[in-house]
Structure 1
Amino acid sequence: MSGRLLENSPPFLLIDVNGIGYEVEVPLSVLGELPLTGESCSLYTHFVVREDAQLLYGFAQRKDRELFRLLLKVNGVGPKLAMAILSHMNAEEFVRCVQSDDLVRLTKMPGVGKKTAERLLIEMRDRLKGWISPQAGTEVSQQIKLAESGSGLEEAEQALLALGYKPQEASRAINAIYEEGMLRDEVIRRALKSMVKG
């Protein structure tokens, strides 16, 4: 999907495609790869039709969409949990997690208990055999973006609550990493990292 980014309200984006606005849910890990509001935006999408809703999920990288689709095949994993996983780690990080049987990191994510984490490791091991994990520790450099108006801290906290964190957990994580002048997207990324690692 390609169009113009009209709104960026994590975890939802509003994209204008030839005059039609599409609401797309994205994992919070893609925030650093999004353009500024008003600029053109391209995403790899996955469309889900349910009895009560039609949902559109978007990903900055094709690999992340492929992983999302593989996660949906795991017993007990729906779109909400798959998006939560991809909000905490990109495809390469998840592959490394499965390859190293990192049960601890998986269980630190909201909605992932020990049994779900074990199921993920077992079922995804075979499905990810063809995926090559890059060297650990390679980080994508962050782009500095223009500061957004409004309360970035409140929006960051709302995004964490949408992922299933409790209000106390979200505010504690944000307070621990917040520095003066930090932008909303950076607050969300750092808070997520601190909660998964801590």
Structure 2
Amino acid sequence: MYEYIIGNITDFTEDRLVLETNHIGYSILVPVTTLANMQGVKDKVKIYIHQHVREDEISLYGFGSKEERRLFRDLIGISGIGPKAAMGILSSFTLDQFIGYLNASDEKAISTAPGIGKKTANRLILELKDKYKHHLSTSDGNTGSSATASTAKEAVEALEALAYSYSEALQMVEFVYIDGMELQDVIKKALAVRASYDQ
């Protein structure tokens, strides 16, 4: 069982990287978010590994942090969630975003991940919410940026009423939302950013 591998990245594809150490190249499946952070890095990197064994295949899944790997393992421990679906979730959201959606019981947001319907999203919330309710942000401590507060949710609903799709509205709000903002300010700023983007 691998804990982590330290080496140099020698190749990328859309869903994996090749990590070389001691003249061995390991092909490792990684979330899109991890790939984005690793591209252009020339120094040695540490990738936390989950080894998945099936009858006909042994695969290595890699993550930028132990917390991401823990979430992956918790996800695949849920009935009906395989490695592919778990990687889709980790590629769609940052760790803090996903945990924010769990804590807010936001099945609509979670169901925007590929292969995850509302029924599955509700099962994820049911099985994981309590496990992650005390999670603190691993970056700047501001979990409010994942648009999980009630004000942010109301802003998303208001933008939906203005004919934006749920995923569009969610992205707009997440881009501008800061914990403690007033509802009208969130909506105004989201619309202003969208307007400048559309020009």
What TM-score results when the alignment is normalised by the length of structure 2?
A: 0.66
Q: Tell me the equivalent position of 1:13.
A: 17
Q: Where in structure 1 do 4 or more consecutive aligned residues deviate above 6 Å? A: none
Q: Tell me the equivalent position of 1:3.
A: 7
1:71 and 2:75 matched: yes
Alignment of 1:164-175 (within 5 A): none
Q: 1:96 to 1:110 in 2, by over 3 A?
A: same
How much does 1:10 deviate?
2.0
* Contact 2:16-2:35 at 8 Å conserved across structures: no
1:48 and 2:52 matched: yes
Q: Tell me the equivalent position of 2:145.
A: 137
Partner of 1:98: helix, strand, or coil?
A: helix
For residues 9 and 170 of structure 2, the distance between their equivalents in structure 1, rounded to whole angstroms, comes to: 29
2:104 to 100, 105, 126: 100
> Where do 5+ consecutive residues of structure 1 fail to align?
139-192
Partner of 1:137: helix, strand, or coil?
A: helix
Q: Tell me the equivalent position of 2:89.
A: 85
For residues 195 and 59 of structure 1, the distance between their equivalents in structure 2, rounded to whole angstroms, comes to: 29
Alignment of 1:151-170 (within 5 A): none
Q: 1:197 to 1:109 in 2, by over 3 A?
A: farther
Look up the equivalent residue of 1:106 and give its one-letter code: I
Larger radius of gyration: 2
> How many correspondences in the alignment?
144
Alignment of 1:20-39 (within 5 A): 20-36=24-40, 39=43
Q: 1:49 to 1:10 in 2, by over 3 A?
A: same
Once the two structures are superposed, residues 43-71 of structure 1 have per-residue CA deviations (whole angstroms, 9 ceiling, x without a partner) of 11110111111000001121111111111
For residues 42 and 131 of structure 2, the distance between their equivalents in structure 1, rounded to whole angstroms, comes to: 38
> Where do 5+ consecutive residues of structure 2 fail to align?
147-166, 173-199
Look up the equivalent residue of 1:72 and give its one-letter code: I
Look up the equivalent residue of 1:28 and give its one-letter code: V
For residues 24 and 100 of structure 1, the distance between their equivalents in structure 2, rounded to whole angstroms, comes to: 32
Aligned residues with identical type, % of pairs: 33
What TM-score results when the alignment is normalised by the length of structure 1?
A: 0.66
Q: Tell me the equivalent position of 1:149.
A: none
Higher relative contact order structure (alpha carbons within 8 Å, sequence separation ≥ 6): 1
Q: 1:132 to 1:38 in 2, by over 3 A?
A: closer
Q: 1:195 to 1:25 in 2, by over 3 A?
A: farther
Once the two structures are superposed, residues 138-186 of structure 1 have per-residue CA deviations (whole angstroms, 9 ceiling, x without a partner) of 7xxxxxxxxxxxxxxxxxxxxxxxxxxxxxxxxxxxxxxxxxxxxxxxx
Once the two structures are superposed, residues 76-105 of structure 1 have per-residue CA deviations (whole angstroms, 9 ceiling, x without a partner) of 111100000000112211110100011111
